[in-house]
Structure 1
Amino acid sequence: MANLATRMRKLSSRSRDKVPELEVLRLMAEHNPRSCELQLLDTVSVKQHELPIYAMKIGRADSSKPALALVGGIHGIERIGTEIILAFVRTLLARLRWDDALRAELNEVQLWVLPAMNPSGMWLNSRANAAGVDLMRNAPVEASITVPPLLGGQRLSRKLPWFRGNPDQLEPEAQALCDFARAHLFTAPFSMVLDCHSGFGFKDQLWFPYACSKEPIVHIAEVFAFHKLLAETYPHNIYTFEPQANVYNTHGDLWDYLYQLALAEKRCFLPLTMELGSWQWIRKNPRQLTQLLGFFHPIMPHRLERVLRRHLTFFDFMKDAVRSHANWLPVSNDRLAFEAAARQLWYTPS
């Protein structure tokens, strides 16, 4: 354990300037050893530097408990998702020093954070990883419907955006995520993921699979139940909730792939993507367009602080919903009614 801790410290110190989020995560773990555990999933190389891919477990729930994973940084330039997750972790760790109720809750739900899944892309300020591969186009999933040229995933050249990579081998970052999901999410009695992105639209959106098809997923009743729970609990919530395919379609979506793997193992695994509407930041501050980061990240300090506060309630809601999943997941005839309602809401042509 000591050798692993030393290695983590060396890896993070090398990335301090280019990927300070890794150092922040390591220091959180170092200063809160009773509340969290940092695991090294893999390392990747960029410009002769070795960078870590971390997963942090918060609390002490065992593998028999339901699991929630918060994922960020899959697209390296979309750093705001990483920052939101770290803000949530900072709040939880502060509360765990005094909040007995939270300690009890985190004995009943596995809470994992993987805030910097593409550290080489973060180092390079790139959507893709160091090999030029878009990790959200990298999975061996072919869309059953027409996808937009390039945007839907391409294998023409790594010099073009949305490059899918080798069709026969996942990128190390994608493989690390899949291995983590199999080890910690598929083994849980119920699991959810929230993958945080930015750079699309004027509204904050929640998407669920598929990106490769306009057909409903097998667990559409469960997704609708979660949507209903959110709407009833927070009727004025800020999110547009819909299938990703209603927005655009792609090949190679990692969550499509992992959902299908979980389905084959007869697991109830519900991945969601949070797409922050960065166009609203640009509308309020057009000068953001003068720098690449401005397309994906709020530049003004007060707006950044607002975004970091904005989603904490939803993250907490997800934690509690996963912990108490038995109280809202549909059973028996409810599943048929919820599936019919989902089809009416999301799959009936307007």
Structure 2
Amino acid sequence: MELPFSLLLLFLSFSTCLHLSHARGGQRSSLPSVGFENGGYAGSTRHLFKESRSHIGNDVARGYMTNSDLEKAVKAFGRRCSNISRIYSIGKSVNGIPLWVIEISDKPGEQEAEPAFKYIGNVHGDEPVGRELLLFLANWICDNHLKDPLAASIVENVHLHILPSMNPDGFSLRRRGNANNVDLNRDFPDQFFPLNDDVDMRQPETRAIMNWLRDIHFTASASLHGGALVANYPWDGTEDKRTNYFGCPDDETFRFMASIYSHSHYNMSSSKEFQGGITNGASWYPIYGGMQDWNYIHGGCFELTLEISDNKWPSANELPTLWEYNKMSMLNLVASLLKTGVHGRIFSSDTGRPVLGSITVKGINHTVKAGRTFADYHRLLAPGGRYEVMATVPGYKSRSTGIWLEEAAMTLDFVLDPEVTLKGFLCFLFRRRIKNNNLSKHRQLVGPKRPVVVSNA
């Protein structure tokens, strides 16, 4: 009996490893110890292990949109729903395929003091469900924004950007990596290890995402994956490469966001593997160079990684069912930007104009920058707690206030006073003297008028 029992243990161990390797978007490729030498990176995990392409044939994609079909569908949507959308590209893949984006808003292409949300699908080429569901989402909003309150609220108060396919080349090749066989979810700069710091070595799809975040101030986002059923949140990696829970500064808020998706889903929250249908990435298994952590650190964007289908390539006739399972989750996650958190603008008491600054919350080591044009901020926070929120602008006195955040969102504008310096005071007196002289001359010309009272209150 010893030999069969040993074989059984070996089989069970192999089955467990196989399950993990295909979960959370497939082969995780966490960094092995041998990949680091003297604190450096040997580069062995940037490319996947050599793959056999024969196991994923063209028949598995029957009924799915080809890249050409997807482009036609995106442009057709733009024509059909031109009143609430615009179509644009953020770059091209290795093989030159445009990375098309659908923006949905009542004022597409215009800057407004509203939060922006992005959905990204098909990060891994062999996970195509997301690209299909994102077209379902766009068309559903277009068809229902005049009659459904949730769709109307999103169109009127959010700028929703949808990138159906980040990795069209990988989709064509029926494999995880892009045309250079690089896993795009390991290609971003990492906070713990010196990965992907060479700009010239990054993939064009990665650079496109990074430039996108420099152009648009996203409040939150999510990428759609396949191979499991769970809402994953930061951190994705750990400092010592061990598998254990490692929360980011906004851990409570991320858990709240992940729960919104999970509990709105048909059956994600009833998972037996993940309590509540959510997981911390590092607790599941660490990765490095991931897009999720990079978004939060460098873009100030709260991103989730959503595993939306246990089967990476389900039959195409299952897609409508998967859409129904995920529809309310996808909508509610976008709408959460309006229903929770603290939102407002920062103004100068001197000029009354918006001033560019940042928002911090006491006890949370993360800064959210205000928008460049309107100085609007959208600070996501878990409801049901007391927070001390501070606005900071260079050259101005910082101001903080305590709030109790209920279930609904809160609007909180800040009016900051300029720092008083000797130079600034003298300039103020000089401007005031010129203003009084001009006012005196004006009164001599037009006669006395009713005095105007200016209040600083």
Q: TM-score, normalised by structure 2?
A: 0.53
CA contact (8 A) 2:258 2:304 kept: no
SS of match in other structure, 1:84: helix
Structure 1 counterpart of 2:315, from 281, 294, 299: 299
Q: 5+ residue gaps in structure 1?
A: 1-15, 145-154, 156-163, 282-295, 337-350
CA contact (8 A) 1:22 1:116 kept: no
Residue 256 (structure 2) aligns with: 225
More helix by share: 1
Structure 2 counterpart of 1:271, from 292, 303, 307: 303
Question: How many Å apart are 1:93 and its aligned residue?
Answer: 1.1
Residue 433 (structure 2) aligns with: none
Summarize the alignment of residues 125-164 of structure 1 with structure 2, pairs less than 5 Å apart: 125-141=174-190, 143=192
Question: How many Å apart are 1:259 and its aligned residue?
Answer: 1.5
**Based on CA coordinates, which of the two structures has the bigger radius of gyration?**
2
**Percent identity at matched positions?**
19
SS of match in other structure, 1:70: strand
Alignment CA distance shift 1:245-1:23 (3 Å): same
CA contact (8 A) 2:234 2:251 kept: no
Structure 1 counterpart of 2:268, from 235, 238, 261: 238
* 2:102 maps to 1:56: yes
Distance 2:259 2:167 in 1: 33
CA contact (8 A) 1:77 1:122 kept: yes
CA contact (8 A) 2:102 2:163 kept: yes
Residue 314 (structure 1) aligns with: 329
Alignment CA distance shift 1:335-1:212 (3 Å): farther
Question: How many Å apart are 1:276 and its aligned residue?
Answer: 2.7
Q: Which moved more, 1:96-105 or 1:79-88?
A: 96-105
Distance 1:235 1:300 in 2: 20
RMSD (CA atoms): 3.0
SS of match in other structure, 1:55: strand
Structure 2 counterpart of 1:196, from 224, 230, 235: 224
Alignment CA distance shift 1:35-1:299 (3 Å): same
Letter in 2 for 1:93: C
Structure 2 counterpart of 1:216, from 231, 234, 247: 247
Q: 5+ residue gaps in structure 2?
A: 1-64, 239-244, 270-276, 343-379, 389-457
What are the Cα deviations for residues 127-186 of structure 1, in whole angstroms up to 9, with x where unaligned?
111111110011121657xxxxxxxxxx9xxxxxxxx89676321111111121232234
Alignment CA distance shift 1:250-1:234 (3 Å): closer
Question: How many Å apart are 1:331 and its aligned residue?
Answer: 7.5
Alignment CA distance shift 1:101-1:80 (3 Å): closer
The alignment of Structure 1 onto Structure 2 pairs a total of residues equal to 270
CA contact (8 A) 2:260 2:332 kept: no
Structure 2 counterpart of 1:250, from 287, 297, 304: 287
CA contact (8 A) 1:211 1:244 kept: yes
Q: Which moved more, 1:325-334 or 1:116-125?
A: 325-334
Summarize the alignment of residues 280-295 of structure 1 with structure 2, pairs less than 5 Å apart: 281=311
What are the Cα deviations for residues 18-53 of structure 1, in whole angstroms up to 9, with x where unaligned?
54222211211122111211111112342xxx3110
